Every structure is written in C-alpha cells, then in structure tokens.
Structure 1
Amino acid sequence: MALRVRDTIRSSSESPLPPVELCYENMNGSCVKSPYSPGPRVLLYVVFGFGAVLAVFGNLLVIISVLHFKQLHSPTNFLIASLACADFLVGVTVMPFSMVRSVESCWYFGESFCTFHTCCDGAFCISSLFHLCFISIDRYMAVTDPLVYPTKFTVSVSGMCIGISWILPIVYSNTLFYTGANDDGLEELAHDLYCIGRCQLVLNQDWVLIDVLIFFIPTLVMITLYSKIFLVARKQAQKVEATVSNSESSSETYKARVAKRERKAAKTLGVTVVAFLTSWLPYMIDSFFDSCLGIMTPSFVYELLTWFAYYNSALNPLIYAVFYPWFRKAVKLIITGQVLKDSSSTINLFSKGA
C-alpha cells in the first residue's frame, strides 16, 4: 500500500552542470525526472516485470483450478481462490504501473488513474490480509475439531467471509481517497508537493496509524490462532502414533487420517501467512516510524520495501506448488489443455490416502 508522502522532485542546485530532465518536457509544473542508468534500469524492469507476470498467471492458475475441478469445491479452497483473485488484481492493476513509476520516477497515466491505482493498491492488499485472517480461523476450527468442522464452516459461511474481505477494504480505500480525507490538515503540504507526473498521495498521521492498526490487529489474530494450531497439532500427532501402534478401531484410524490431513493443510497455509507477514512487516514498520517520528526513508529504500511487499502476491502460487500435489496436477491439466474435455472437472486430483 503506497500510502505515504514521497517527494519525487530532487534538487538540481547541487549539480547545475547536467541538464535537468522533466517527466513532461515543455510543460510548466512538471516533476523533475531522476532516471536510472541503462543497466540498472533494464534489471529493475526485468525483476519487477517478472513479479507482475508471476502474480497474474500464477494466481490465475489457482483460481481456475479451484473453480474448475469439483473435487476442490470446499469452503477453504473458495477462500484460497478469493485470496488468489486479490493477488491477481494486484498483479494486473497495481504492479505494472508501479513498475513504471519506480523505474522512471514519473507517473505517465494521469491524475484520475493515479487515484484509482492508489485505491486498488490499498484495497486489494488489505483484502489479502483479511482473507488470510479468515483462513487462519478456518484452519483453527478444522484442526481443533476436524469431524465437526464441516458442519460449522460451510460454503455459506465461507461466502460471508469472502464478502467481508472484499467489501470492507474497497469501501475503506475508496472513501479515504475519493473524499479527500487522506490529506486532511495537510492541504498546504499537498499543494507544495504537487507537480505533473507524480502519483504518491499525501496521507496524514491519523490515517497512517489506522492503516497500521488494520494490519497489526488481523496479524495478531493470525499469530495467536496458528500458535494454538501447532500446539494442538503436536498433541494430535502423539495420538496418531498411539493409534497406529495400538491398531485401534477403523473409526479411530479414520479420525487420525482426518486430523493428519487438516494439520497438513494448516501447515501449508501457515507458511502462506508467514510469507505475507515477512513481505509486509518491514513496510508497515517503516510507515509507522516515518509517520510518528517524522523520518523520511530514502527513496530507494522505500521502493525496495514497497516491491518486497508487492512480491507477496506472486509467492502464494509458488507455495501451493511446493506443498500441494493437487495444485501441481491441476496446473499440468490446465497447461496441457485437458481441462477443455467434458469430463475434466471430475478428475481425481488427490493421491490415495490424501
């Protein structure tokens, strides 16, 4: 969420010899352009562009997999598909334009699209966080009571969680930026910083703190739930060993298999949560200290933290590919075109005993 003040105008008074480059030549009020040399410029386009492509196509594969194959139609997988949709939209509406802004140090897409881009940036990233929070609640219920869980966390409950995860972030982000509430009390600063070719809206301290709370409250919920999940998982693992060694009834063996499957799913999604926190925590800590202490992070550091956070949208499909055999099989069927066959939606994606 690129929501802080960043002045892209760099003073040229220190080195008057090189000609000043503008974002828009021969236009009064244009921002000063601070281009990279050709080598780093190409490298940045490759790195940022790869992240955007991976976010788009990787998450698109997740969405198609869950929606196409009937075996994957479960409340948890619908949440995962919706999370992939949020990350997909980050890859489509945010990353490509942020890439040009980061590399060229200019915004070439107009003021109206700047506001829209900033709203998408905030809304979809918050939406991802909300999805992960609901997924952690889902996994907690599944691990602590796996046999009763299907009657508690139904498709309708999953749909309600998905609705909340989309509606609240979109309403919040659009209300914040389209009403102008983001720069309340900072109108003079916003006016002084304004130039044509700049797209980094001013956000006052109150809204920065609200953003930090929106991030850390769900984060605290996730950390608490996953801590409990792994404590329960350890106890269940001990029971599974006892069940196998004592050769108990088939009912007990079934319970052990269900518990094992839910623990495995919780572990995989726990890795997803850790990846999200690792990606976004540095950015949010930087935002908090910048706002509270009045520190201005160097531009290149800020861009690095921003893209480190953006790259989280490309990570989840890679995590699924590593931990979910069904996802690898689904991707193979999609890429080879076998999903176009009439009976493809009923293909078994799970190995025996899974």
Structure 2
Amino acid sequence: MIASNLSAISCRRANSALCLSAVEEHLEASSSYRNLSPTGHLLVAVTLGFIGTFGFLNNLLVLVLFCRHKILRSPINFLLVNICLSDLLVCVLGTPFSFAASTQGRWLIGDTGCVWYGFANSLLGIVSLISLAVLSYERYCTMMGSMEADATNYRKVAGGVVMSWVYSLIWTLPPLFGWSHWTTKTANNISCIICLFIFCLIVPFLVIVFFYVLIWRTVYMQKLTLACI
C-alpha cells in the first residue's frame, strides 16, 4: 500500500504497531519524505487513485460475477472471493485516507485515524495472505483427490475462510489494547513486530511455497510416469 510522506510522519505519533506495519517502509526514508514536492504529492495521489479505483472495480466485478453465475461457485472460487472481498475493503477503508492525505499534503484524520488505517490494512492484508495459503492447500488436495466438488469440500473451504479472519483478528486486535507502543524501542514493541513478521508473513509464505512445491513435484512425477509408458 502506498502512503503519502506526511501520512507516515503523522502516524509516528500514534501508539499502535499496526500503524507501523502499514507504513514502515516509508518511515525508513522519512527525511526525504519531508521534502517531497507538490509534484511528488500529486504523483502519489494519482497512483493511489488509480490503484484504489482499479482495485475497487476489478474486485467488485469478480464478486458480481460470482453472485450472478452459479457455475462459478466452486470451493476454490469461494477462497478467491474471500481474497477479492478483503482487497475490495482495502480500497474502501484504507486507500481513500492515504489518497486524501496525498492530495492535501498532510495526514487528515489524526492519530486515531492513523491507528484505524493501520488496523484495517493489516487485518485485510493478513486475511488475503492466509487465504492464499489455504488456497495452496486446497489446490494440492484437489490434485491429489477427486476433481468433483462435494459438501465436504465446501465445509473445508468455509472453515478456511473463517480461519483467515479469526487468525488475522488474533494478531491485529492486541495492538489496539496495548501490545506495542512503537514510539519507543521496548521489548513490548519489538516482540509485537517480530511476531507479526513471523506469523503473518513468513509462516503463510512458507505454507504457500511448501504446497506449490508438492504440486509441482506431483505434476513432474506424473509426466515421468506417462513418459515411461
């Protein structure tokens, strides 16, 4: 997610690690952001406007097609819809604030808004990533089992969707209640950031890699078997 320079600077005053997760890349170069020109602000605003508009329309189209065409309602597509929904909500609940900040050259909704911005983007981003991990597992199970969708598959996918939201809430709610005041380099702050990095990025990424490696290996072995026949 692209955020304006002044959005990141204002967010430093908030006491939530979620703000950090939303704009930490921008804070590393904060000195250059202070000197961002009006043209720079305009470019960021245009980019955010394009991302937000295109993302909203694209994901909305997917959801409309899914609702209108019953044939698309397969187990795997339910996971894709969950990802589209989370991305759509980012475009609605997150991007407009950073877009408005870029157009005005300053953060407009204060520290509380900064915390909300960090929470919403973190929550929805983790939901998407966990959904991708569940999707990789579902694709592997589909390849190893029957290609026909049944009630069992739908229940598993529904469980995966619920798990993605619950898992994300487990990691994004605690900072709202005091876990990490990231304006200081305390053990409380560092532990929160490390946990978010490991359990909300590294672990899902490894799960995705693991199952897609298994899928690739299965396909490769099948090709070798066919070649030998």
Cα distance change of structure 1 residues 41 and 115 upon mapping to structure 2, 3 Å threshold: closer
Cα distance change of structure 1 residues 139 and 7 upon mapping to structure 2, 3 Å threshold: closer
> Greater share of helix residues, 1 or 2?
2
What is the aligned counterpart of 1:182 among 177, 180, 183?
180
Instruction: Give the match's secondary structure for 2:34.
Output: coil
Equivalent residue runs for 1:161-310 within 5 Å: 161-176=160-175, 178-183=176-181, 189=184, 204-214=189-199, 215-237=201-223
Q: What residue in structure 2 maps to residue 308 of structure 1?
A: none
- Deviation by residue 1:38-94 (Cα, 9 ceiling, x = unmatched): 433322222221111111111111111122210011111011001100111111111
For residues 35 and 97 of structure 2, the distance between their equivalents in structure 1, rounded to whole angstroms, comes to 16
Residue segments in structure 1 that go unaligned for 5+ positions in a row:
12-32, 191-202, 244-354
Q: What residue in structure 2 maps to residue 327 of structure 1?
A: none
Aligned letter for 1:165? S
Cα distance change of structure 1 residues 241 and 10 upon mapping to structure 2, 3 Å threshold: closer
Q: What residue in structure 1 maps to residue 110 of structure 2?
A: 110
Q: What residue in structure 2 maps to residue 73 of structure 1?
A: 73
For residues 108 and 217 of structure 1, the distance between their equivalents in structure 2, rounded to whole angstroms, comes to 35
For residues 7 and 208 of structure 1, the distance between their equivalents in structure 2, rounded to whole angstroms, comes to 15
Contact 1:94 1:117 (8 Å CA) reproduced: yes
Question: How many equivalent pairs are there?
Answer: 205
Equivalent residue runs for 1:83-94 within 5 Å: 83-94=83-94
Aligned letter for 2:196? D
Q: What residue in structure 2 maps to residue 272 of structure 1?
A: none
Instruction: Give the match's secondary structure for 2:114.
Output: helix
Q: Once the two structures are aligned, what percentage of the paired residues are identical?
A: 23
CA drift at 1:36: 3.3
Aligned letter for 2:218? V
CA drift at 1:122: 0.8
Q: What residue in structure 1 maps to residue 139 of structure 2?
A: 139
Cα distance change of structure 1 residues 72 and 207 upon mapping to structure 2, 3 Å threshold: same
Q: Does 1:2 align with 2:9?
A: no
Q: What residue in structure 2 maps to residue 307 of structure 1?
A: none
Structure of higher CA gyration radius: 1
For residues 134 and 158 of structure 2, the distance between their equivalents in structure 1, rounded to whole angstroms, comes to 11
CA drift at 1:100: 3.8
After superposition, the CA RMSD in angstroms is 3.1
Contact 2:45 2:102 (8 Å CA) reproduced: no
Normalised by the length of structure 2, the TM-score is 0.77
